[in-house]
Amino acid sequence: EAGVTQFPSHSVIEKGQTVTLRCDPISGHDNLYWYRRVMGKEIKFLLHFVKESKQDESGMPNNRFLAERTGGTYSTLKVQPAELEDSGVYFCASSRDRAYEQYFGPGTRLTVT
């Protein structure tokens, strides 16, 4: 069984540009989560999809971040326009059921210069 995959593994962009991160969850996992770790701080929750619906987006920092999960399969997280403080590692996770074990992808390291 393939694990959670994320693309790209690294991205370097200039301030003001747009970046789109992709996450493919484990097959059959309806629950998909986005997290990020910035500037050596704790890993923070961003949002949670159940299938294609946003269940909880309380962790999204501002309206420059847009997450989608059309069709309930893979998800994208777009940052537009990117700011310096957005630099960090963005993780995606998936789980079979709510409040069940979450499995993490390898992360995307985003650097905004």
Partner 1 sequence: GIQVEQSPPDLILQEGANSTLRCNFSDSVNNLQWFHQNPWGQLINLFYIPSGTKQNGRLSATTVATERYSLLYISSSQTTDSGVYFCAVVTGGGADGLTFGKGTHLIIQP
- Residue among 46 and 79 whose Cβ is closer to partner 1: 46
Residue 70: strand, helix, or coil: helix
Question: Nearest distance from residue 46's CB to partner 1, in Å?
Answer: 8
Report the distance separating Cα 45 and Cα 61, nearest Å.
10
- Residue among 17 and 68 whose Cβ is closer to partner 1: 68
Place of tokens 């957005």: 86
Question: Nearest distance from residue 17's CB to partner 1, in Å?
Answer: 23
- Residue among 42 and 70 whose Cβ is closer to partner 1: 42
Question: Nearest distance from residue 113's CB to partner 1, in Å?
Answer: 20
Residues making contact with partner 1 (CB under 8 A): 31, 33, 35, 42-48, 55-56, 58-59, 89, 91, 93, 98-104, 106-107, 109
Burial of 35 (0-12, 13-18, 19+ CB in 10 A): buried
| Cα–chain center distance at 113 | 20
